[in-house]
Chains A and B, each alone.
Chain A
């Protein structure tokens, strides 16, 4: 699931979740973290990603178990609802904590 950097001397950098660390996925997770759920269109509008890009990143996040993708119909139109799983919320909080620690430890 989460790959780590090989150099353990750089701990806690080594602990940073590489699934989240990609800028597009971080953006997606940030927005999903602050809402209960959003649909594909809303997330695309917020992030400015293309359909293909968003789909690829969401697939990775879903594979990691961080995002739940629910496909339903609104009337006759397909509707894709996205929400962060509990694991995703936990991973995001952990990522935030790790990044804060890394940045705090850096010399000025």
Chain B
């Protein structure tokens, strides 16, 4: 029975046990599918509707995740209300995400207004940096190392896409290929975590959970 005695380790284990179900990874992956598919739809639907069409999909996905958590995850893993330290960290993360998203929105609007005068590489670099920063903040605050990987992959996507596009290897600035790959990685990791959780925490029988190593 070798369990952590460090309070920090114990707190991290609590957080990971409660959240490491892969559902948010899959949700993020679906979010990045938008970056991959929206450019392909823009010719038919226009720039606004090619992205807006995903909003109801995310809404439905969010509701589906809540239901899966309630019906599948929580009966197996159990319920927990985090302590003050974790709640404060989540609050800080929300604030940082708000700042990063607002900054991205401002940069996006500026880029759209000066679309012809700003080089594509610069817009891609700014976009990539925003993604890298956002994921890195989240990885640091939540202490989830795989988010650094997501940040790196997502941050490199616009640059790699632009590079592929400049060589005529892809269309739509390479977004369908690069962001499609990032979305695939996220969904696969999420799926792996979800399956692992289902195998580690069998469904409860008669109100009691199954074996736990």
Name the A residues within 8 Å of B80 (CB-CB): 35, 37-39, 42
A11 within 8 A of B: no
B5 within 8 A of A: yes
Interface string of B61-82 (1 = CB under 8 A from A): 0000000000000011111111
Is the pair B3, A27 in contact by a Cβ cutoff of 8 Å?
yes
Q: How far, in Å, is B85 (CB) from chain A's closest CB?
A: 7
Q: How far, in Å, is B89 (CB) from chain A's closest CB?
A: 12
Q: How far, in Å, is B165 (CB) from chain A's closest CB?
A: 48
Size range of the chain B interface in the assembly: 20 to 34
Given A30-B7, A81-B79, 16 more pairs with CB closer than 8 A = A23-B1, A26-B5, A30-B3, A30-B5, A31-B13, A34-B14, A35-B81, A36-B83, A38-B79, A38-B81, A39-B78, A41-B79, A42-B79, A44-B212, A45-B77, A46-B14
A40 touching B83 in the complex, CB below 8 Å, given contacts A30-B7, A51-B208, A77-B207: no
A31 touching B78 in the complex, CB below 8 Å, given contacts A23-B1, A45-B201: no
B10 within 8 A of A: yes
Which of A34, A37, A42, A44 has a CB less than 8 Å from the CB of B10? A34
Name the B residues within 8 Å of A43 (CB-CB): 78
Which of B3, B7, B78, B209 has a CB less than 8 Å from the CB of A34? B7
**What are 17 A-B pairs with beta-carbon distances under 8 A?**
A24-B1, A26-B5, A27-B3, A30-B4, A30-B5, A31-B10, A34-B11, A34-B85, A36-B83, A38-B80, A40-B78, A41-B79, A42-B78, A45-B209, A45-B212, A51-B208, A79-B79
